[in-house]
Amino acid sequence: MTGKAEVGSPNSDTARLVRVRLKVAYDGAGFHGFADQPGVLTVAGVLTDALSRWLRQPVKLTVAGRTDSGVHAWGQVVSFDINDSPEKPFDPRALQRAINKTLAPAVVVREASIAAPDFDARHSARARHYRYQVLNCEAPDPFRAATAWHVAEPLDVSAMDVAAAAVVGERDFSSFCRVPRRSLAPASMVRRVTGARWVQADENLLRFEVEASSFCHQMVRSLVGTLVAVGLGRRRADEMPSILEARSRAAAPDLAPPHGLCLWEVVYP
């Protein structure tokens, strides 16, 4: 049998293992989160299928952060291994073009590259940066409705910023995290938040910028829900330390809707 091996063909005698890194953006509105789930549409599901078809070999993704249903991403990162052949070397740009042609605009590969053999999208990450947008004005904006939570009542941004500062540092965020359903042992809810602040993006748009080594389930949405309650005067900014100390979801029941949240960036060394 003669002829050149196809891209990534595991049948080539000269195949070698290559680790690939992708930076991915997606509109989470039509997906049941990132993680693959049988019977429902997920980002991992459509991305894995498109990659496997183009590469003509199975692909198993490692992801920096598993976003929930309806949550968006601008700087999500995934890594995976492929069998590559020197006869027809893997071309990251060709893969990027092919996947974008198949999945855009819902899912877009912003960057594609060959990574170091020890790179791992999840474990190599040093921090995750999330952004939550709040549209604070009387009338809704149809052009921002898909990516910002509309809050019609005026918000006290200064009070929200004071409350946000209280979560910076290493804390137990049990009050703001949903406990995993399938856990053999109690999971630690201790996380190290390195930055949390509100930014006035324009006259009506507020952005909550938060960065941490990692986040637990629904942590950012729960923080935003509580901070908006502070901005509306329903809670006091100086309550945040006691809410954290309570270590109970009952202490912070407000949950912001998912469509305002975006995984903005993953930080690597």
**Helix orientation angle between 43-55 and 92-103, rounded to the nearest 10 degrees:** 130
Rounded distance between C-alpha atoms, residue 21 and residue 10, angstroms? 19
Rounded distance between C-alpha atoms, residue 251 and residue 232, angstroms? 17
The residue assigned the tokens 């930014």 is 199
Name residue 109's amino acid: V
Domains 16-114 and 127-267 share a fold: yes
pLDDT at residue 187 in the model: 82
pLDDT at residue 10 in the model: 45
Question: Is residue 186 packed enough to be buried (19+ CB in 10 Å), middle (13-18) or exposed (0-12)?
Answer: exposed
Q: Give the length of the chain.
A: 269
Q: Please give the helix or strand (H or E) that residue 20 lies within, else none.
A: strand 16-26
Shortest CA distance to 139 belongs to which of 189, 64, 203? Answer: 203
pLDDT at residue 236 in the model: 97
127-136 vs 149-151, strand pairing mode: parallel
Shortest CA distance to 264 belongs to which of 161, 112, 171, 127? Answer: 127
**Helix orientation angle between 219-231 and 157-165, rounded to the nearest 10 degrees:** 140
Domain definitions of the chain by residue range: 16-114, 127-267
pLDDT at residue 87 in the model: 82
Name residue 252's amino acid: A
CATH classification of 16-114 is 3.40.630.30, yes or no? no
Catalytically annotated residues: 68
Rounded distance between C-alpha atoms, residue 204 and residue 187, angstroms? 39
**Are 42 and 33 within 8 A, CB to CB?**
yes
Question: For the chain (length 269 residues), average pLDDT per consecutive 10?
Answer: 39 75 97 95 98 96 96 98 89 98 98 97 98 98 97 98 97 91 73 97 97 96 98 97 96 97 97
The class of domain 127-267 in CATH terms is: alpha beta
Q: Hey, which bits of 51-187 come out as E strands?
A: 62-63, 72-84, 107-114, 127-136, 149-151, 169-172
Cβ neighbour number for residue 210 with a 10 Å cutoff: 24
pLDDT at residue 107 in the model: 98
- Helices marked H in the chain — which ranges? 43-55, 92-103, 157-165, 219-231, 240-246
**Are 75 and 263 within 8 A, CB to CB?**
yes
pLDDT at residue 2 in the model: 35
